């Protein structure tokens, strides 16, 4: 590396649909980056694709550290990942395998939702605040918290599982084993299932994007379903806001692409539910970045060096 080369870390974002990697400067600029579709296959097959991506992005550079954000569950202590949507990886030693590839530099591992929140906090919607809740609404509902400028990790690395805050005491069953969770009302697949039970496109293979388009066109069943999802999200948001004392919430993920169809009812429900004086100004905004998870992973890597 020449003397005037910019110092970088390598950020890696692992999801069930795609994997991304980038060299990121200390001020949050992506110098080079790429992404691939997450391949199906066994553990080594999936890792070989990631290794190829890392080599391509890294080129001749020598990143000072590596930060990985991954879909969970994961075991941070031992650097193991078992992403629900990557069947080939169960207790896969991702940290050790990446370290073997990049050499003797710090390698950190964090939950993708935490990295999303951290990325938005660093260079996106949270630039002006110290405390922020980030929520990712897609096939599930994940999240992350930055409190007083620091990511909240928790005892086992799983803080801010906002999708599993219980918001309905007699609620629908949830994949986690509980019932009445935010995710049971607000995830894309659960909203689609709920709308279908009401008679919306009952026999068609459709997804949350179709539901959003129908809601935007005024379909009452679709609108009612988004309102239910929004109410659950708002209840989870307000529960979190009064718990940690925050006023900035950022929502990203595929379902958030519905825009005002999701944000208008979320904001209306938040206004109704957030009554204590310190949360009446609670703001809920769309994510500003389309790669917040990747940037958050890189921020995590920079934190190991400071
Ligand atoms: Zn749950």
> Per residue in 184-199, pLDDT tens?
999 999 999 999 999 9
Residue 266's pLDDT is what? 98
pLDDT over 90 at 16, yes or no: no
- Give yes or no on whether 3-111+291-303 and 125-286 have one common fold: yes
Q: Where are the domains of the chain?
A: 3-111+291-303, 125-286
Measured in angstroms, how far is the CA atom of residue 167 from the centroid of ligand 1? 10
Q: Name every residue whose Cβ is closer than 8 Å to that of residue 135 and which is 6 or more positions away in sequence.
A: 113, 141, 142, 143, 162, 233, 236, 237, 249, 250, 251, 252, 253
Mean pLDDT of the 210-234 span: 98
Residue 65 near residue 305 (C-beta atoms within 8 A): yes
Q: Which two tokens stand for residue 165?
A: 């805050």
Question: Buried (b) or exposed (e) across 4-14, using 16+ Cβ within 10 A?
Answer: eeeebbbbbbb
d(CA 213, ligand 1 centre) in Å = 27
Q: Is the pLDDT of residue 3 over 60?
A: no
> What distance in angstroms lies between residue 241's CA and the mean position of ligand 1's atoms?
19
Average pLDDT, the chain: 95
CATH tag for 3-111+291-303 (out of 1.10.3720.10, 3.40.1160.10, 1.20.1600.10, 3.30.420.40): 3.30.420.40
Q: How far is the CA of 153 from the centre of ligand 1 (A)?
A: 19
Q: Is the pLDDT of residue 1 over 80?
A: no
**Model confidence at 6, in pLDDT bands (50, 70, 90)?**
confident
CATH of domain 125-286: 3.30.420.40
% of the chain residues with pLDDT over 90: 91
Check residue 28 and give its pLDDT: 96
241-300 pLDDT, tens digit each: 999 999 999 999 999 999 999 999 999 999 999 999 999 999 999 999 999 999 999 999
Rounded to the nearest angstrom, the distance between the alpha carbon of 194 and the centre of ligand 1 is 16
Compute the distance from residue 12 Cα to the ligand 1 centre, in Å: 27
Instruction: With cut-offs at 50, 70 and 90, classify the pLDDT of residue 176.
Output: confident
Distance, CA 175 to ligand 1 centroid (Å)? 6
Does residue 2 carry a pLDDT above 60? Answer: no
Residues of the chain with pLDDT > 70, as a percent, come to 99
CA pair distance 238, 55, nearest whole angstrom: 43
Render pLDDT for 39-88 as a digit per residue (tens, 0 to 9): 999 999 999 999 999 999 999 999 999 999 998 888 999 999 999 889 99
Residue-level pLDDT at 66: 98
Distance 40 CA to ligand 1 centre (A): 27
For 284, the token pair is 């809920």
Please tell me the distance between residue 183's alpha carbon and the centre of ligand 1 in angstroms: 6
Structure tokens belonging to residue 114: 């935490």
């Amino acid at each position: 590396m020449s003397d005037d080369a910019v110092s970088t870390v390598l950020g890696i974002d692992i999801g069930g649909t795609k994997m991304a990697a980038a060299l990121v400067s200390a001020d949050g600029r992506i110098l080079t980056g790429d992404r691939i579709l997450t391949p199906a296959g066994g553990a080594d097959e999936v890792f070989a694709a990631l290794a190829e991506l890392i080599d391509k992005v890294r080129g001749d550079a020598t990143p000072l550290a590596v930060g990985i954000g991954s879909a969970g569950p994961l075991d941070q202590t031992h650097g193991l990942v078992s992403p629900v949507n990557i069947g080939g990886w169960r207790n896969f030693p991702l940290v050790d395998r990446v370290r073997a590839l990049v050499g003797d530099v710090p390698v950190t591992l964090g939950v993708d939702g935490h990295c999303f929140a951290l990325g938005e906090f660093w260079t996106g919607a949270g630039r002006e605040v110290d405390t922020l809740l980030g929520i990712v609404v897609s096939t599930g509902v994940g999240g992350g918290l930055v409190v007083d400028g620091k990511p909240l990790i928790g005892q086992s690395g799983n803080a801010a599982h906002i999708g599993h805050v219980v918001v309905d005491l007699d609620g629908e069953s949830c994949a986690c084993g509980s019932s009445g969770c935010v995710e049971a009302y607000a995830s894309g697949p659960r909203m689609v299932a709920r709308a279908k039970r009401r008679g919306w496109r009952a026999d068609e293979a459709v997804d949350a994007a179709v539901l959003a388009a129908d809601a935007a066109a005024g379909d009452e069943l679709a609108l009612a379903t988004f309102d239910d999802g929004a109410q659950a999200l708002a209840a989870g948001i307000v529960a979190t806001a009064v718990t940690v004392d925050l006023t900035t919430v950022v929502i990203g993920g595929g379902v958030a692409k519905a825009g005002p169809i999701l944000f208008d009812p979320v904001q209306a429900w938040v206004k109704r539910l957030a009554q204590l004086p310190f949360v009446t100004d609670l703001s809920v905004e769309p994510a500003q970045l389309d790669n917040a998870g990747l940037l958050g992973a890189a921020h995590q890597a920079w934190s190991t060096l400071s």
